[in-house]
Amino acid sequence: MSARGADLLVDALAMAGVRHLFSLSGNQILSVYDATVGRDITLIHTRHEAAAVHMADGWARMTEEPGVALVTAGPGHLNAISALYTALMSESPVVLLSGHAPRSQAGRGAFQEIDQVGAARPVSKAAWMVESAERMGEEMTRALSLASAWPPGPVHLSLPGDLLEARVTSASPAPAPSAEPRPMDDVLIRRTLDLLGQARRPLIIAGAAMGRSARWNDVERLSELTGIPALLMESPRGVNDPSLRGATRCLSEADLVLLLGKRLDFTLRFGGPPAFAERCRFIVVDVAPPRSSERLALALAANPGAVARQLVTAASERVWQGSTWTKEVEAARITRPASWEDLGRSPAAPLHPLSVCAAIQPRLEAGGILVSDGGEFGQWCQAALEARHRLINGPAGSIGSAVPMALGAKLARPELPVIATLGDGTFGFHALEFDTAVRHGIPIVAVVGNDARWNAEHQLQVQHYGAARAVGCALLPTRYDRVVEALGGHGERVERADELTPALERATRSGRPACVDVVIDGVAAPSFSGSAGH
């Protein structure tokens, strides 16, 4: 029995349990669209290729299953590339499928022929072009498996249009091999626990992927058994991560830090002073830890998820001495500056970001999903809001992903409310994905902090050059609620604090994609390295 390469591709997706393709159509991928007809795979058709990747990213982070984006060749592929970097830095298992110029016309100047694989390599775990129609399903299965392997991350496949259309003898794709991570040598596990037990002020810092699903449960269990504080660090601000609040000041007091799936990179100031004390040493657990460094106490080349489970088992067989250190770190992490309560209840207009957060928080306490973009408003939200499920822009430091990422998260967990917080500048990146949300019936609530400027850059200009030289950051006080209304969603404008909670309630009850556009005071993001008042 013969089938097209596109059919083999879709067969492999179906066998792997993929049910959504986040996509924007184009010439070279129409055969894949056709192959999905009659299959249990839904095309979520977006308005921009980068949004398709962000949606796949949101899906992947919520499910720990690969999110799959499908775009066309050339410009479509390049539009998607920037979003891959966000997924790469957040260790999110995403597969980007891009149509490609015909293989038979390679090197002859075919329509939209570029080196797509070369463009994708710097922002993916792996990237390659499928070379034969017969192997289309096999290569698809391999890409899905590789995206999920540690460290999880994006994988790219370029799909030549003629191979997608070519008819070959069909065969069921082989299931992906299940590679169980090898256990770490017990001697090294014991050595790790010995070092942690000897330290006076040890810390555990987990990277982005370790903060999701069962992995974070293991980290929390390890912390509970040993009494060692555990912190999740996934912000580009790293040692100034706003969600850690005052715990960021505790980093410099640590004498030993266990890094689980967290690189000793720029976010940790490479482990040096003043972020960490000169005497502080690190145990790094990752598939490719540093080979040598005067800062290293131990380096374990292993899957940190597997090592965390081994550490839990071994730690449960020991007696651990309690200390006040754990309580100090936890108190610093959860304690808010005294001024925050008054700012959160202030009736002043324009609204302080903390006033917005105070209205949002109750809507997250029943298990709602928070999706927070970057920028100054995003930093306030990351600092002030607590959510069991939280997706942020991540170490990439990119902005613009919140709305499409929220749509992917909502599709993954339709039973949970999803609130996306983002600034007005950020809203402009993917505003038209509200059209996508309306067409596909995906009800999210976006809360836009509208201060009519690119505030993060404005604050940097003020800091470095002075207020008189702050240029190029002003925006119009646009009614973003009306933009969403025009696209068929629900819109609310809020200018006073007492309007916000009712507006959020109406937006949620509308059952439609909604935007609550809030006029806010353009204050600088919170800082916990010194004075916390803003």
pLDDT of residue 527: 82
- CA 350 from centre of chain: 30
Distances (CA, A) of 16 to 12, 67, 68, 497: 6, 11, 11, 48
Listed in sequence order, the residues at least 6 apart from 247 whose beta carbon sits closer than 8 Å to its beta carbon are 229, 231, 329, 330, 332, 333
The residue among 284, 285, 289 whose CA lies nearest residue 303 is 285
pLDDT of residue 107: 81
> What does the H/E/C string look like for 323-378?
CHHHHHHHHHHHCCCHHHHHHHHCCCCCECHHHHHHHHHHHHCCCCEEEECCHHHH
* 32, HSE (Cβ side, Cα atoms, 13 Å): 38
* Angstrom distance (rounded) from CA 301 to CA 264: 14
Cα angle value 244/245/248 (rounded, 5°): 70
pLDDT of residue 177: 63
Name the strand (E) or helix (H) holding 129. Answer: strand 126-129
Q: Which residues pair with 161 in a beta bridge?
A: none
pLDDT of residue 127: 98
Q: Assess whether pLDDT exceeds 80 at residue 173.
A: no
| Confidence band of 185 (pLDDT split at 50, 70, 90) | confident
Domains observed in the chain? 2-169 (3.40.50.970), 186-334 (3.40.50.1220), 338-519 (3.40.50.970)
Least confident of 149-153, 156-160, 237-241: 237-241
Share of the chain above pLDDT 70, in %: 97
The answer to whether the bond into 102 is cis (omega within 30° of 0) is no
